[in-house]
């Protein structure tokens, strides 16, 4: 959540005037506490793969790259420009994808498939912003790594 101070009659800095209650945030997103690195690929949590994938879209220097979060089938579609991401913009036109919400069902160590749902807002390189888009991804675990496989 992102807050900014307000000096109106109803507010005192970051708080509702006369209280210790924070003002409503002006924006929010789901994010990692630290920068994403190669270690995220080994996570036992499929929802982290989804979040890292969307954070990498539009970032030319992302490590890992967007394609590294994908199954071999999805990676082929991505390279060919045919992978659906939920964006109203082409993958090459995305400047940023902001995950606003994630929901999922916990997985077990023996599970080989997972479903993760997210609400994403896309920003194009031209500065256009999409409405929130709900996406549902099916992930597969291969060689003990989760990969995004198909957008349902």
pTM above 0.85, yes or no: no
How far apart are alpha carbons 11 and 39 in whole angstroms? 42
Task: Report the pLDDT averaged over residues 26-54.
Answer: 80
Measured CA distances, 49 to 4, 10, 21, 127, 137 (Å): 30, 41, 34, 26, 11
Task: Please report which confidence band the pLDDT of residue 117 belongs to, taking 50, 70 and 90 as the band edges.
Answer: very high
What pLDDT, in 10s, does the model give residues 77-91? 999 989 999 999 999
Res. 111: pLDDT tops 60: yes
Cβ-contact 120, 135 below 8 angstroms = yes
Cβ-contact 134, 117 below 8 angstroms = yes
pLDDT value of position 135: 97
How far apart are alpha carbons 93 and 123 in whole angstroms? 9
SS3 sequence of the chain: CECCCECCCCEEECEECCCCCECCCCECCCCCCCCCCHHHHHCCCHHHHHHHHHHHCCCCCCCCCHHHHECHHHHHHHHCCCCCCCCCCCHHHEEEEEEEEEEECCCCCCCCEEEEEEEEEEEECCCCECCCEEEEEEEEEECCEEEEEEEC
């Amino acid at each position: 959540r992102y807050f900014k101070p307000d000096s109106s009659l109803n507010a005192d800095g970051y708080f509702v005037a006369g209280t210790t209650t924070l003002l409503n945030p002006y924006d929010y997103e789901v994010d990692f506490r630290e920068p994403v690195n190669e270690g995220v690929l080994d996570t036992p949590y499929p929802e982290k793969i989804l979040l890292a994938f969307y954070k990498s879209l539009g970032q030319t220097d992302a490590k890992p790259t967007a394609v590294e979060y994908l199954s071999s089938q999805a990676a082929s579609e991505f390279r060919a420009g045919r992978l659906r991401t939920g964006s109203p913009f082409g993958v090459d036109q995305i400047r940023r994808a902001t995950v606003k919400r994630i929901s999922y069902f916990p997985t077990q160590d023996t599970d080989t498939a997972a479903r993760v749902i997210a609400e994403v807002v896309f920003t194009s390189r031209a500065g256009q912003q999409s409405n929130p888009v709900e996406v549902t991804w099916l992930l597969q675990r291969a060689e003990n790594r989760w990969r995004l496989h198909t957008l349902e």
